[in-house]
């Protein structure tokens, strides 16, 4: 992959350059030292991926991400030194189209680079997502075609690129005493999950928390998948965390969660697939529609990336394809 580095700290640039060189087949496309330079350089030479810092002079990473995704769209991975301190900006950048976020590697004792392998793993995952894409999982066993369960016993939402901002809009429009749990599977690294919960809580009328192993989801509460493994509902209707499938590039996966609902949540509900790159959630949404769930996908005009919703539309998985500002009302319509 041709990878661009955007960072105002020369030491960080050198560390990132060395980390990229650790993986055969990767090369540095160009280096920019602030967001304004990055926008200009991306227009002139669009790389396969940009590693985007957040705090920079002249133009920060959020605004640079916004302008790049508007004028010369390119996969962007936020790379920030301070995860907890920059959580709000991370989710702003993801709302503008950044795919994910990672901590900046640092020099370790002995001259090694601590965190380089984690960064390279994320780069490899993005390479899969921006390539041909992963194969869709097989339909879930027991997904009964034609079954009708129209009670809104759960609201299940899958999201990726642009998801945080879309989720904030939807949660802000749902009532405080919603008679169903809301469970969110957003593609975000575990180290940012707590910050995402806090950020969404500021927009939600309902209490918002991480989904914890063994907890049964309760009405009127928002739960967010918070690990790099998959969230599922077990036969006892409680949350479980599982590494399987190991080779699935989307972690946590909306498909894995949706398919567990087909098996273990017979009360039905409403399932929503929001903006995002790739195809995660499309097959699972189709299984939920066959099982009688109300299924909704975000439309192209309001999606930052019309990948996941388009995949759902192509499969006939969504009963309704709606602009973002109509989705909350459709969830509540029953």
**Residues tagged active-site:** 160, 187, 280
User: 80-90 burial string, b = 16+ CB within 10 Å, else e?
Assistant: bbebeebbebb
Written as six digits, the tokens of 88 are 């709000």
Whether the CA torsion 94, 64, 48, 314 is positive or negative: it is: positive
Give the tokens for residue 82.
């301070």
Residues 6 or more apart from 11 whose CB is under 8 A from it?
Answer: none
- Residue among 50, 255, 291, 299 nearest 133 (CA): 255
> How far is the C-alpha of 166 from the C-alpha of 150, rounded, in Å?
25
CA distances 125 to 20, 47, 134, 249, Å, are 14, 16, 10, 6
What phi-psi label fits residue 162: left (phi over 0), alpha (psi between -120 and 50 degrees) or beta?
left
Q: What angle do CA 210, 143, 178 make, to 5 degrees?
A: 40
Residue 300's φ and ψ, nearest 5 degrees, are -65, -40
């Amino acid at each position: 992959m041709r990878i661009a580095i955007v960072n105002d700290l020369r030491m960080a640039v050198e560390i990132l350059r060395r980390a990229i060189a650790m993986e055969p087949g990767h090369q540095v496309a160009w280096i920019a030292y602030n967001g304004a330079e990055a926008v200009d350089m991306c227009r002139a030479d669009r790389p396969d991926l940009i590693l985007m810092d957040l705090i920079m002079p002249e133009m920060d990473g959020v605004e640079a991400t916004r302008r790049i995704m508007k004028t010369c769209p390119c996969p962007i991975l936020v790379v920030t030194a301070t995860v907890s301190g920059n959580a709000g900006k991370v989710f702003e950048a993801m709302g503008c189209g950044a795919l994910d976020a990672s901590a900046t590697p640092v020099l370790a004792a002995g001259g090694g680079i601590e965190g380089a392998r984690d960064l390279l793993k994320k780069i490899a995952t993005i390479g899969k997502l921006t390539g041909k894409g992963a194969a869709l999982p097989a339909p879930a066993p027991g997904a009964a075609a034609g079954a009708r369960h129209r009670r809104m016993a759960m609201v299940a939402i899958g999201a990726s690129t642009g998801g945080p901002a879309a989720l904030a809009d939807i949660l802000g429009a749902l009532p405080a005493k919603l008679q169903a749990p809301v469970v969110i599977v957003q593609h975000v690294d575990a180290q940012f999950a707590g910050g995402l919960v806090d950020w969404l809580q500021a927009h939600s009328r309902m209490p918002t928390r991480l989904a914890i192993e063994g907890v049964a989801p309760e009405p009127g509460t928002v739960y967010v998948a918070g690990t790099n493994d998959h969230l599922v509902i077990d036969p006892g209707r409680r949350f479980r965390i599982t590494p399987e499938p190991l080779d699935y590039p989307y972690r946590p996966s909306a498909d894995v969660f949706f398919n567990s609902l087909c098996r273990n949540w017979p009360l039905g509900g409403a399932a929503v697939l929001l903006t995002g790159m790739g195809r995660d959630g499309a097959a699972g949404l189709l299984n939920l529609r066959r099982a009688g769930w109300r299924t909704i996908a975000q439309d192209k005009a309001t999606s930052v990336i019309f990948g996941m919703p388009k995949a759902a539309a192509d499969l006939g998985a969504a009963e309704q394809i709606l602009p973002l500002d109509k989705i909350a009302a459709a969830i509540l319509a029953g």
